[in-house]
Amino acid sequence: MTVLSKEYFIKTKFGKLRMKNPEAYTKGSGKKVEWVCDCGIEKSIPIYNVTSGNTVSCGKCNLLSKEYFENTKFGKLRMKNPDAYHKGSNKKVKWVCDCGKETRTKILAITSGDTVSCRNCNLLSKKYFTNTKFGKLRMKNPEAYTKGSGKKVEWICDCGKETTTQICIVTKGGAKTCGNCNLLSKEYFTKTKFGKLKMKYPETYHKSSSKKVKWVCDCGKEKLILIYNITSGGAKTCGNCNLLSKEYFTKTKFGKLMMKNPKAYTKGSDKKVEWICDCGKEKLIRICNVTISESVSCGKCNLLSKEYFKKTKFGKLRMIYPEAYHKGSKKKVKWVCECGKEKLIPICNVISRNTKTCGTCRKQYEDWYSENEVYLRKLKCPISPDSIPSGSIQALEPITNTGKPFKAICQSCKGVYYPVWDSIRQGVSLTCGCYHGKLTNGQLKLKSIIESFGIEVKLEYPVNGLKYDLFVPSGNLLIEFNGLKWHSLEYSKKRDIRKYDNAIANDFQFIMFYEDEIANNFEKVTNLLKNRLNVNELKSVRPKDTTIKLVDSRIADEFYESNHYIGKCRAKVNYGVYLDGSNLIALMSFKKPTRQSTHDFELVRMSSDSKHRVHGIWSKLLKMFIKEYSPKSIVSFSDNRLFSGKVYEKLSFKYDGTIPPDYYWAKGMVRRHKSGLRKTNKEKLTGKTEIELRTAQGYERIWDLGK
């Protein structure tokens, strides 16, 4: 038996209790003694109850006063006859609700927040249920019920059927019909034809039933199909109506192909059969590939004959030992250049005109310069085209300023380019650069555009062991030109990303163009380069001289098509900047994010026209949007391929990460975003991947640089 000393009880506090008159007692004593609580109340409690921890307070610490209940409101409730009660009391007392009703409820239920009203505030009257319709349902025998009542009552549907449903389910919108409105009768299925199908054994079924029943097709075939697939229009035939007869394949030509041994096959058959091409070759090809026009030839029709290579000259090159080769062959063969030199070059490079010379033809133009250097240096403006010695550059207009570009014909490739006379006098820019065997037409076109601005441009510029197609020193800008064919290869994707990262890491500006952009959007490419190189002659406008208006989406898209490189954006919120009241000169657009995003809005476009610059206008438009729409956050994306993203930093946007490179589908000179070539419903049934389907159609993937 443990005896606790007087000193122990003097020093020890048990929860909120201390012994009033400490003495020595055994720990398990049942004797009642006085204890003093922290709240000041004294109480007689057995010693054992306190020392064992069963009692830690006087029990009246949570006693709420009469005054407290008089002044306090619990949700919609007040105590009718206030008195002092414990917070956790289970006693039931009367409470008065804001709606005027009284209810008897336990004090604990109120003080804990479990009950906040009389529960009859939501009582809906008989008149309410008489006049109110819930979807297609009305109460059959209206009475007064609470909105959340779980009682089941009868309801009448618009279709005339009756159903028994809980009141709470109907009032909360969980049930709006009897559930049998979509029940289609036996008579309906007897009379109705779905496409080419009729139900063989009509019965009453729900419109969305997933039961399989037999259907008879116009072609006479029978098939088990889900009722829902038929009523929803998903299936309209037996699926074998596409059986093409032997006679059909005998008479029909698909592009250049005819079936060698015609038989009856379905249009979408995966079976491989032999086909004869117009060129005489035979090939095993899947029937579906031919019937849907994915394959229209044997694939070897591009074989160029020996005679063709004997007669044809490609730029300055002729094949030394002509043989029959495919147009796209990567085989290296010997070619002889007009300058007499021989060189091994892939056939595809020569036929595609990417390589037009041996790459060392420059010597003849260097010799021309050596012979005429003194004379060329003496020429003064205006310089007539006739005064320039023949053998190299051919000017197409008088030269009036030695420091500005003039229009000329390159004697190497006969293409137009824009050199500067100061460069000619120093023996530079004697050709457009085509004598370099590795240069492409795209590089040369970009070079010509930049030189037309009166700016120096360098070709094949090295940075940390990587060569870039063009470099513009005045703008510290590296430019890459990506052909659609060769940059669709996997190693090209990795190399392009490495080049971009290398440029940014070494503090260069960077831009990358696709081949189709140079060919199809020459003007937009020119304007983008002018902006990146700051050579636009812009009229400066102050914001106070303009007016800002909300612009219709159609007008906004027309403006972006003319002034923004990417074009229209179909945004709903467009702030236009007008000069002289009617001249739209700048635009900023917002819409809800199209990607999975937690942000409220996306800033999708901002652009000014090619003639004006409005100081501080982007910041002003952004502040106006924030004031009017109060978004919690705004997101925007900068295309790494075309823009630096620095404008967003000036607008106080914070960098939030990089989206990995995405891809386009390219075929020939056509490049399409992947979203435009998603699998169709019919293609999904084939079980093939998007890559398998598009590759079979002749498309190849080409990648951007992320955002």
pLDDT digits (tens, 9 = 90+) for 528-551: 888 888 888 888 888 888 899 999
What confidence tier does 439 reach under pLDDT thresholds 50, 70, 90? low
Instruction: Tell me 28's DSSP state.
Output: T
The count of structural domains within the chain is: 9
Task: Tell me what pLDDT residue 471 has.
Answer: 93
505 in a domain, yes or no? no
Q: Distance of CA 547 to CAs 40, 564, 572, 594, 625, Å?
A: 74, 21, 20, 30, 15
Task: Tell me what pLDDT residue 435 has.
Answer: 57
State the Cα–Cα distance between residues 64 and 86, nearest whole angstrom: 6
Q: Are residues 647 and 569 in the same domain?
A: yes
Could you tell me the CATH number of the domain that includes residue 640? Answer: 3.40.630.30
371 in a domain, yes or no? yes
pLDDT at 191 over 70: yes
Task: Tell me what pLDDT residue 391 has.
Answer: 79
State the Cα–Cα distance between residues 605 and 589, nearest whole angstrom: 5
What confidence tier does 274 reach under pLDDT thresholds 50, 70, 90? very high
What confidence tier does 261 reach under pLDDT thresholds 50, 70, 90? very high
The mean pLDDT of 121-131, rounded to a whole number, is 83
What confidence tier does 465 reach under pLDDT thresholds 50, 70, 90? confident
pLDDT at 43 over 70: yes
Q: Are residues 320 and 423 in the same domain?
A: no
* CB-based contact 15:57 (threshold 8 Å): yes
Q: Are residues 541 and 632 in the same domain?
A: yes
542 in a domain, yes or no? yes
Q: Are residues 247 and 286 in the same domain?
A: yes
Buried b (16+ CB within 10 A) or exposed e, 56-82: ebbeeeeebeeeebeeeebebbbbeeb
Q: Are residues 552 and 610 in the same domain?
A: yes
Alpha helices, H only, 335-402: 347-351, 362-378
293: left (phi over 0), alpha (psi -120 to 50) or beta: left
State the Cα–Cα distance between residues 385 and 408, nearest whole angstrom: 9
85 in a domain, yes or no? yes
pLDDT at 85 over 80: yes
Q: Are residues 208 and 168 in the same domain?
A: no
State the Cα–Cα distance between residues 554 and 572, nearest whole angstrom: 10
Task: Determine the 3-state secondary structure of 425 from DSSP.
Answer: helix
pLDDT at 589 over 90: yes
Q: Are residues 156 and 250 in the same domain?
A: no
Task: Tell me what pLDDT residue 154 has.
Answer: 92
The mean pLDDT of 22-30, rounded to a whole number, is 87
Q: Are residues 218 and 308 in the same domain?
A: no
Write down the pTM of the prediction.
0.46
Q: What is the mean pLDDT of the chain?
A: 85
578 in a domain, yes or no? yes
117 in a domain, yes or no? no
Q: Domain range for residue 14?
A: 3-52
196 in a domain, yes or no? yes
Q: Are residues 591 and 546 in the same domain?
A: yes
448 in a domain, yes or no? no
Q: Are residues 563 and 642 in the same domain?
A: yes
